[in-house]
C-alpha cells in the first residue's frame, strides 16, 4: 500500500472519528439543554470576577423575571435586582473582599413588575490543573413558598407558646384570686397579670358599684387613655349582655365610653357575666398587628372575662359572708362574735402600751313593753336608729356592737373614768332626742341604761371586765334607768392608770 493510500485511510478514519465525537458532543449538549431548560432552578457559569456570563439557564426568566439575554449583555444586572436591604450581605457572601469561595446564601430579588421573591443561591469555583479558579458554577432556586411556610410555622409556634404562657398566667391569677380577701388586693393582681399576658395593646377592668348605676375602673394596662368610670348605658356589651366588637368604622355604633379609636376593629368589650347578670366589664384595645393576632387576643380575652367573672363573684361572696359573720344585719354595728374576738386583742394592746380601756354595756329601757305595744317593726326601727346614734357618738378607733336583743356594747380604748362621764351624758341626751316613727306614726321616746367598767381596774381578762360592766348596767336599771353607773372597784382589782387630760378625744 503506497503512502497516498495510507494517508487517505488515516484521513478517513480521523474524519469518521471526529464526526462521531461531534455527534456525541451535540447529543450531550442537547441532553444538557433539555435538562437545564426544563428545571425550575437556575444554572449558571461565570468568570471569577462576575464580569462575563458563559451560561445561564432559562429558569433565570422565571425566577428573576428578566431575560437571559439581558444578563449576557450586562452580567452585573442580577446584582441590581437584589433587594436593597439584602444587597450588601449577598455581595459579601458571593465574593467577600474579592476572594473566590464557595457560598450558600438567601436573599430577595425585586422583579420588574415589583413582586419580591426569596432566592437561595449556591456556587463553587472551578479550578484548572494549576489550582487557579477560572470559572464559577452554581445554581439558584426560588424558595419563597418555603420561606412563607417557615414563617407561618414560626408564627404558629410563637402563637402557641404565647397561648400556653397566657393560660399559665391566667391559671396563676385565678389561683391567687381565690386567696384574696379584699377587692383592692384583687385589682393589683388582675392589673399585673393582665399586663404580663399582653391582652391587646391596652385594656381595663371595670366593676359595678353596689348601686349598679355605674362601673368603676379597678385595673388597667397599656398606654391608651381609658374612662375612669362607665355608665351601663354607654356600653353596647352591657346593654346586650354579650361581647361587643364594633362593625366597620361607624362612629355611631361605638360605645360612648370609648374616646380613642384606631381602626374598624380597635376594641372589644366583654361583660363578666355571673348567673345571668353582669358583674363588671373587660375592655380590650386590640393591637391591630394582624387579623390573626386580634382574633387570638379576642379569644383569650373571652376566656379571661369568664375566669374573672367567677373569681370576682367568689370574692364578693366571701366578702359578704365575712361581713355577715362580724356585722349585725339590723343595726350595721359589729356583732357579739366579733366583739368577743376583738376584745382580747384590744386588751392585750392596751396592756402592752399601758393604756386603759373602757367597756360599756347599755340596754334599751322597757323595750319588751315597747315591742309588745307597737310591734316588732317599730322595735326594729328603734334599734336601727339607736345603732346610728351609737355609731355617731363613737370614734373611728372605738368598737360598737349589738350584744344581743336590745343590749349593746362599746369598747373605748385609751380612756379613763373622767373622760367617760361627758361621753355617757352625751349619749344619754342623744337617745332621749331620738324620734322614731313607724307606718307614719311617731312612737314614744326611748331611754337607755348604761354600765361602764375599765381595764385593768375591773379585771385583766375580757370576761371579767364585761361582767363588771354588766353588773353596773343592772345597777343603773335598779337605780331608775335612763342613767349611767360606773362599776365600783372590786377586791384585788388593779388601780386605773390615769391618762393626762382624761379621755383623749370624743367624737360627736
pLDDT of 75 > 60? The answer is yes
pLDDT of 289 > 90? The answer is no
CB 401 within 8 A of CB 335: yes
- Nearest 10 degrees: CA dihedral of 89, 91, 94, 97? -100
Mean pLDDT, range 176-193, rounded to an integer = 78
In angstroms, the CA 205 to CA 207 distance is: 7
Q: CA nearest 48: which of 140, 138, 133?
A: 133
Determine whether 61 is exposed, middle or buried from the number of CB atoms within 10 Å of its CB (0-12, 13-18, 19+). middle
Helix/strand/coil for 276: coil
Task: Work out the angle at residue 370's Cα, subtended by the Cα atoms of residues 362 and 421, and round it to the nearest 5 degrees.
Answer: 25
| Distance linking the first and last C-alpha atoms of the chain | 151
Nine-digit cell string for 119: 432566592
Confidence band (pLDDT; 50, 70, 90) for 222? confident
HSE-CB at 232 with a 13 A cutoff on CA atoms is 18
Class of 158-324 per CATH?
alpha beta
CB 50 within 8 A of CB 75: yes
Helix/strand/coil for 455: strand
In angstroms, the CA 43 to CA 140 distance is: 7
Nine-digit cell string for 305: 372575662
List alpha helices for 121-220, DSSP H: 144-177, 183-197
Q: Place domain 334-486 in its CATH homologous superfamily.
A: Reverse transcriptase/Diguanylate cyclase domain (3.30.70.270)
Range with the poorest average pLDDT among 17-31, 145-159, 175-189, 275-289: 17-31
Range with the poorest average pLDDT among 11-15, 44-48, 201-205, 356-360: 11-15
In angstroms, the CA 258 to CA 402 distance is: 47
Assigned architecture for domain 39-142:
2-Layer Sandwich (3.30)
Q: What pLDDT score does 452 carry?
A: 95
Higher-confidence position of 180 and 410: 410
User: Helix count (H) and strand count (E) of the chain?
Assistant: 14, 18
Sign of CA dihedral 387, 392, 393, 398: positive
Bond from prior residue into 456 cis (ω within 30 degrees of 0): yes
pTM for the complete prediction?
0.50
Nine-digit cell string for 93: 457572601
pLDDT of 35 > 80? The answer is no
Q: Any idea which residue has 346610728 for its cell?
A: 388
Q: CA nearest 43: which of 19, 23, 61, 18?
A: 61
Amino acid at each position: 500500500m503506497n503512502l497516498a493510500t495510507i494517508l487517505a485511510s488515516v484521513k478517513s478514519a480521523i474524519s469518521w472519528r471526529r464526526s462521531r465525537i461531534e455527534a456525541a458532543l451535540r447529543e450531550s449538549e442537547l441532553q444538557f439543554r433539555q435538562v437545564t431548560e426544563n428545571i425550575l432552578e437556575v444554572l449558571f457559569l461565570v468568570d471569577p470576577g462576575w464580569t462575563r456570563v458563559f451560561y445561564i439557564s432559562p429558569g433565570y426568566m422565571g425566577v428573576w423575571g428578566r431575560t437571559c439575554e439581558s444578563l449576557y449583555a450586562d452580567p452585573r444586572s442580577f446584582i441590581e435586582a437584589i433587594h436593597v436591604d439584602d444587597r450588601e450581605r449577598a455581595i459579601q457572601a458571593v465574593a467577600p473582599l474579592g476572594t473566590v469561595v464557595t457560598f450558600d446564601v438567601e436573599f430577595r430579588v425585586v422583579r420588574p413588575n415589583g413582586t419580591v421573591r426569596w432566592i437561595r443561591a449556591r456556587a463553587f469555583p472551578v479550578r484548572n490543573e494549576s489550582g487557579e479558579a477560572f470559572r464559577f458554577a452554581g445554581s439558584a432556586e426560588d424558595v419563597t413558598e418555603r420561606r412563607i411556610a417557615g414563617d407561618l410555622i414560626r408564627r404558629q409556634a410563637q402563637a402557641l407558646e404565647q397561648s400556653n404562657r397566657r393560660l399559665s398566667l391566667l391559671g396563676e391569677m385565678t389561683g391567687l384570686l381565690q386567696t384574696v380577701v379584699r377587692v383592692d388586693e384583687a385589682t393589683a393582681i388582675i392589673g399585673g397579670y393582665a399586663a404580663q399576658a399582653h391582652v391587646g395593646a391596652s385594656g381595663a377592668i371595670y366593676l359595678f358599684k353596689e348601686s349598679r348605676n355605674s362601673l368603676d375602673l379597678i385595673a388597667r394596662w397599656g398606654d391608651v387613655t381609658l374612662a375612669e368610670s362607665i355608665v351601663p348605658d354607654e356600653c353596647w356589651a352591657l346593654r346586650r349582655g354579650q361581647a361587643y366588637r364594633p362593625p366597620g368604622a361607624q362612629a355611631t355604633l361605638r360605645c360612648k365610653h370609648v374616646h380613642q379609636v384606631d381602626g374598624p376593629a380597635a376594641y372589644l368589650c366583654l361583660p363578666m357575666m355571673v348567673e345571668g347578670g353582669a358583674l363588671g366589664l373587660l375592655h380590650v384595645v386590640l393591637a391591630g398587628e394582624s387579623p390573626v393576632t386580634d382574633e387570638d387576643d379576642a379569644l383569650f380575652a373571652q376566656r379571661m372575662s369568664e375566669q374573672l367573672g367567677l373569681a370576682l363573684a367568689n370574692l364578693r361572696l366571701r366578702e359578704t359572708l365575712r361581713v355577715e359573720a362580724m356585722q349585725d344585719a339590723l343595726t350595721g354595728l359589729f356583732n357579739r362574735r366579733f366583739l368577743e374576738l376583738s376584745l382580747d386583742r384590744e386588751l392585750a394592746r392596751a396592756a402592752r402600751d399601758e393604756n386603759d380601756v373602757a367597756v360599756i354595756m347599755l340596754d334599751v329601757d322597757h323595750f319588751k313593753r315597747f315591742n309588745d305595744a307597737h310591734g316588732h317593726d317599730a322595735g326594729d326601727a328603734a334599734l336601727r336608729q339607736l345603732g346610728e346614734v351609737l355609731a355617731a357618738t363613737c370614734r373611728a378607733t372605738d368598737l360598737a356592737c349589738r350584744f344581743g336583743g336590745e343590749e349593746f356594747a362599746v369598747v373605748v380604748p385609751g380612756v379613763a373614768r373622767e373622760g367617760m362621764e361627758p361621753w355617757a351624758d352625751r349619749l344619754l341626751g342623744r337617745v332621749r332626742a331620738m324620734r322614731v316613727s313607724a307606718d307614719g306614726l311617731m312612737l314614744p321616746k326611748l331611754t337607755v341604761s348604761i354600765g361602764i367598767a375599765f381595764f385593768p381596774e375591773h379585771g385583766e381578762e375580757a370576761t371579767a371586765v364585761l361582767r363588771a360592766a354588766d353588773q353596773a348596767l343592772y345597777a343603773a336599771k335598779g337605780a331608775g334607768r335612763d342613767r349611767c353607773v360606773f362599776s365600783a372597784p372590786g377586791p384585788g382589782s388593779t388601780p386605773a392608770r390615769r391618762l393626762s387630760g382624761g379621755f383623749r378625744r370624743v367624737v360627736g
